[in-house]
């Protein structure tokens, strides 16, 4: 196998050629003239040719010496660049393979932007993204099948997880656009006496959350149709099968049905869902906060403008959806508007 020459002796020889003197080369390199002489001998022995013309003062390079000088200058530049690149690489956080679970509404609206950002930045070398229902992600996280989950399940009571809140979005009432005038400004229990409520299935976290809210309001309504996905649910509404309770992200996910839908504030206030990035403690502790920050930037720059475009009456208050990094997912999100303090849900319900 080819062995590299002693670059140090070649460097000394190049300095001798540049300086035209062994003594001057020694002073520049901080070594004795004897050491310079020994290095010159070793360099010439390795190359098999004289590198300087000793019959001249200052010493002049031979053809071989001139070639050595040219190449050593190039090698020095390349080594300098290599060292700079290695230092820059060392300063960057380690990239790793990331297994990320995402609820369907997030996966189809924010997911593509997030995966691109993670792989283009300094966080993930490869990303495996798994969409689906909330319970599946909670189980996968606890079994170490995924590293993190973007989920609406706070996993309360589970000590081993760390949730980082991302956004809190209000639930909205969605109806066929032809029914808008007859439904607006009416109590929820009143309008449900006349129209079928199309539900999310009980195995979905949203379905469970909505059912709890209806029980708090003491609203009983027959369950006739239920769906796992927002696309299927809103397709039924768009085709006049009934009304539904959903969220802005779900409306973005099923944007193809938006022209046939009327989106209104939910008559009874107090219902919203929080989406958080949840990781197991000791897993992505150093990266989780950076991933959450990336998501919040994407939400502010891309998702919120889309929500404002799809639901114009939310345009003035949509910025409050994204949660501050220090917010606790169970804390009430409050803001000051018009001189009075209002809850997030009150912002989205002008009644």
Give me the phi and psi of 234, to 5 degrees please.
-75, -25
As a whole number, the mean pLDDT across the chain is 83
Band the pLDDT of 13: cuts 50, 70, 90: confident
pLDDT for residue 350 is more than 60: no
> Between 199 and 336, where is the model more confident?
199
> Between 335 and 101, where is the model more confident?
101
CB 273 within 8 A of CB 168: yes
Band the pLDDT of 335: cuts 50, 70, 90: very low
57 Cβ contact partners less than 8 Å away, ≥ 6 residues apart: 20
pLDDT tens sequence across 181-194: 898 888 998 888 89
In this structure, of 76-90, 207-221, 251-265, the range with the lowest mean pLDDT score is: 76-90
Q: What are the DSSP E strand ranges found in the chain?
A: 52-53, 60-61, 96-103, 124-132, 148-151, 161-170, 172-176, 197-200, 226-227, 243-246, 261-265, 272-280, 334-337, 340-343
Band the pLDDT of 172: cuts 50, 70, 90: very high
Q: Say what percent of the chain tops pLDDT 70.
A: 87
Q: Residue range 333-348: average pLDDT?
A: 37
> Between 147 and 308, where is the model more confident?
308
pLDDT at 125: 66
In this structure, of 72-81, 178-187, 297-306, 329-338, the range with the lowest mean pLDDT score is: 329-338
Rounded distance between C-alpha atoms, residue 336 and residue 343, angstroms: 9
Radius of gyration of the chain (CA): 34
pLDDT at 339: 35
pLDDT at 95: 56
pLDDT at 329: 41
Contacts of the segment 125-130: beta carbons below 8 A, 24+ positions apart: 125/95, 125/96, 125/97, 126/97, 126/98, 127/97, 127/98, 127/100, 128/97, 128/98, 128/99, 128/100, 129/100, 129/101, 129/102, 130/99, 130/100, 130/101, 130/102
Q: Which neighbouring-strand residues pair with 275?
A: 167
pLDDT for residue 176 is more than 80: yes
pLDDT tens sequence across 125-144: 677 878 877 778 888 888 88
User: 3-class DSSP state for residue 170?
Assistant: strand
Rounded distance between C-alpha atoms, residue 86 and residue 72, angstroms: 21
pLDDT at 332: 40
User: How many separate helices (H) and strands (E) can be counted in the chain?
Assistant: 15, 14
pLDDT tens sequence across 46-61: 888 888 887 777 888 8
Alpha carbon separation from 309 to 168, 171, 305, 318 (Å, rounded): 19, 17, 6, 11
pLDDT for residue 326 is more than 70: no
Band the pLDDT of 239: cuts 50, 70, 90: very high
pLDDT at 245: 95
pLDDT at 96: 66
DSSP label at 6? -
Q: Residue range 69-73: average pLDDT?
A: 89
- For the chain, the straight-line distance linking the first and the last C-alpha, in angstroms and rounded, comes to 82
pLDDT at 80: 87
pLDDT at 345: 39
Band the pLDDT of 341: cuts 50, 70, 90: very low
């Amino acid at each position: 196998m080819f062995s590299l020459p002693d670059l140090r002796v070649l460097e000394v020889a190049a300095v001798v050629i540049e300086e035209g003197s062994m003594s001057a080369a020694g002073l520049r390199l901080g070594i004795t003239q004897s050491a310079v002489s020994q290095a010159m001998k070793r360099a010439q022995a390795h190359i098999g040719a004289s590198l300087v013309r000793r019959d001249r003062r200052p010493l002049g390079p031979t053809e071989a010496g001139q070639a050595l000088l040219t190449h050593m200058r190039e090698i020095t530049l390349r080594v300098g660049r290599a060292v700079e690149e290695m230092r820059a690489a060392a300063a960057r956080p380690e990239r790793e393979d990331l297994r990320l679970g995402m609820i369907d509404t997030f996966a189809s609206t924010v997911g593509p932007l997030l995966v691109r950002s993670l792989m283009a930045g300094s966080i993930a070398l490869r990303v495996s993204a798994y969409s689906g229902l909330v319970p599946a992600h909670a189980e996968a996280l606890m079994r170490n099948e995924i590293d993190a989950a973007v989920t609406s399940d706070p996993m309360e009571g589970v000590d081993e997880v760390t949730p980082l809140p991302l956004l809190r979005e209000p639930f909205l009432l969605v109806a066929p656009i032809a029914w808008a005038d007859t439904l607006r400004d009416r109590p929820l229990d009143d309008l449900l006496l006349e129209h079928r409520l199309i539900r999310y299935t009980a195995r979905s976290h949203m379905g469970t959350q909505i059912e709890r809210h209806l029980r708090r309001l003491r609203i009983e309504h027959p369950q006739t149709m239920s769906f796992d996905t927002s696309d299927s649910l809103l397709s039924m509404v768009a085709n006049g099968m009934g009304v539904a309770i959903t969220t802005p992200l779900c409306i973005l996910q099923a944007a193809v049905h938006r022209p046939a839908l009327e989106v209104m504030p939910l008559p009874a206030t107090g219902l919203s869902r929080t989406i958080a990035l949840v990781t197991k403690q000791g897993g992505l502790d150093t990266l989780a906060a950076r991933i959450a920050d990336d998501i919040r930037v994407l939400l502010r720059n891309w998702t919120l403008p889309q929500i404002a475009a799809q639901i114009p009456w939310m345009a003035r208050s949509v910025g409050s959806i994204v949660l501050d990094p220090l917010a606790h997912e169970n804390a009430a999100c409050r803001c000051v508007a018009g001189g009075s303090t209002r809850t997030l849900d009150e912002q989205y319900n002008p009644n």
